[in-house]
Amino acid sequence: MTDTISKIGCVSVRLGQANFDLLEALTIPERQRAERLAGLKIHLQVEELLYVATCNRVEFLVLIPGDSTDMADIRNRLLDFFFNADCSRIADFEPESFRLFAGREAVRHIFDVASSLDSIVIGESQILGQLKAAQQSCQDNALTGPVIERLLAASYKAAKKVRTETDLGKNSVSMASLVEIRLDEILAEKPEAVIAIVGSGPMTPKIADIIRRNHKNRILFVNRTVSKIEEFAARFEGEAVSLDSFLAGVPGAEIIISSTSSPAPIFDATTLAKINPGKIYAFDMAVPRDFSDHLSDSENLEIWNLEKLNILAQKNRRERFRVIDQAFRILEEQIRFYLQKEITQMITPLFDSALDESMALAQEGLSNLFKSKLAHLSETDRELLAHWSKKVLSHACYLPARQLARHIAENDSEGEGYLDLLLKGAQ
């Protein structure tokens, strides 16, 4: 028997607490992900690993073997793996850029993430789908295991409860809707602007849908492989354009919204001048960046990246404080349910021997009674009596386990002490 809860850990990097360069460096391109994560799991020396990478966060959820959950050590191994002990290319690199969680705090963090309470945009609707996609990918590559799987299942259930029982799911906000805020302002000034959406990922249809709801502008769907965007062009009444043609300036655009998986920047000052010699409004939604980091706001360029969009997101966070309080109360209840279930599973073997001894004693007693005072009972009645004796004994033996698990789950520091004593005493 082991205390699996105390061995759960998480290293979290999120915009607002870390710079974009660090987030970018920790984002593994999808085509390399399976191979590199297999190597990372070995390098970290962990039993289970979940890797989540979105446009504004990276999460490393792990199950650590042994008696010590030293998350600082896990963070340092991550640094060695990603940077080979050379962090010179990260402009602002501090220990505070990494949030470290262990045990119950790691459990709470994952519940917060799944419910979008830890998001830059509180209540955003994308994170749950991103978590599930990450879980599936890690499952397919044998990175996760039963402990992380149970934790994620419980967090998804809690997230659903938060969205259905609070106003957090109403008028949900996402990074795409933050783009909409500035985009509407631009189109009010330039109603005929041509809009280019670059990339074929999940962000492309979301942005296109936002535009088409209120605007009739010409939309160019741009991608290296044109066949991947033809369906979008048909659905949203746009045009499919190859990336090579677009970079050559045929056709041009005033607004560029880009979210690709390119490992290197696509746009620089030279390509932008070909696309439009006048002013360009750019939205860089990609990790790594699609626009060169040498570009900045100027007379001919207004560029919005994820860090600038974070400023808009803070207004959302302030407006939702009241709803957040209600959501946290729901999460606390759901976390207790999860902990109680996990702890019950841990300590139940302690009560198995008591059940075995009680059942043996009951069977011996019933056998003697069936030969003497209860000899008149039919075989059916004897089976019924034996069945209910077993049921009552099982309930009586495991009731203390459930009550003890509830107490441990509800009392953080005191509960951890009880659990540690129980599990060590059983070894």
Kindly report the CATH number assigned to the domain that includes residue 12.
3.30.460.30
Same domain as 330, residue 236: no
Same domain, 224 and 283: yes
Cα distance between residue 17 and residue 356, in whole Å: 54
Do 9 and 157 share a structural domain? yes
358-380 burial: b if 16+ Cβ within 10 Å, else e: bbeeeeeebeeebeeeeeeeeee
Both 115 and 240 in one domain: the answer is: no
Residues in the chain: 427
Query: 4-43: string of b/e by CB count within 10 Å (b at 16+)?
Result: bbbbbbbbbbbbeebbbbbbbbbbbeeeebeeebeebbee
Domain count, the chain: 3
3-state SS, residue 8: strand
Neighbouring residues of 42: CB distance < 8 A, sequence distance ≥ 6: none
Q: Are residues 129 and 248 in the same domain?
A: no
The candidate with the shortest Cα–Cα distance to 118, out of 12, 236, 5, 239, is 12
Q: At 106, which helix (H) or strand (E)? A: helix 104-114
Same domain, 369 and 335: no
Query: In whole angstroms, what separates CA 257 from the centre of its chain?
Result: 25
- 354 belongs to a structural domain: yes
Do 265 and 193 share a structural domain?
yes
What single DSSP character describes residue 121? S
**Domain coverage including residue 371:** 346-376+390-425
Q: Is residue 384 part of a domain?
A: no
- 19/209 Cα distance (integer angstroms): 30
- Predicted pLDDT of residue 315: 60
**Angstrom distance (rounded) from CA 199 to CA 226:** 10
Those residues whose C-beta lies under 8 Å from the C-beta of residue 119, and which sit 6 or more positions away, are 56, 57, 113, 127
Structural domain includes residue 130: yes
Q: Are 136 and 70 members of one domain?
A: yes
Regarding whether 227 and 118 lie in a shared domain, the answer is no
CA angle, residues 25, 226, 242, in degrees to nearest 5? 80
Q: Do 255 and 324 fall into the same domain?
A: no
Note whether 268 and 147 are same-domain residues: no
Q: What's the pLDDT at 126?
A: 84
Which residue in 274, 57, 309, 89 sits closest to 181, CA to CA? 309
The Cα 95–Cα 18 span in angstroms is 10
On whether residue 214 sits in a domain, the answer given is yes
The domain that holds 205 is classified in CATH as 3.40.50.720
Would residue 10 count as lying in a domain?
yes
Residue 382 falls inside a structural domain: no
Which residue is associated with the tokens 């000052």?
A: 269
Position 292 in a domain: yes
156 & 261 share domain: no
pLDDT per residue as tens, the chain (427 positions): 467 898 999 999 998 788 888 888 899 988 899 999 999 999 999 999 999 998 889 999 999 987 777 899 999 999 999 987 455 555 567 888 899 999 999 999 999 999 988 887 777 778 999 999 999 999 999 999 999 999 999 999 999 999 888 887 665 567 787 888 889 999 999 999 999 999 998 889 999 999 999 899 999 999 999 999 999 999 999 999 999 999 999 899 999 999 998 988 999 999 999 999 999 999 999 988 999 989 999 999 999 988 787 776 666 555 566 678 888 999 999 999 999 888 888 777 776 777 777 777 878 888 888 888 888 888 888 888 888 878 887 777 667 677 777 777 777 654 455 555 555 544 5
The pLDDT value given to residue 1 = 47
What are the CA-CA distances from residue 291 to residues 14, 59, 95, 270, 288 (Å)? 20, 24, 28, 12, 9
pLDDT at 425: 47
Q: What is the pLDDT of residue 346?
A: 79
**Rounded-to-integer distance, Cα 132 and Cα 123, Å:** 17
Residue 383 lies in a domain: no
Of 257, 253, 236, whose CA–CA distance to 245 is shortest? Answer: 253
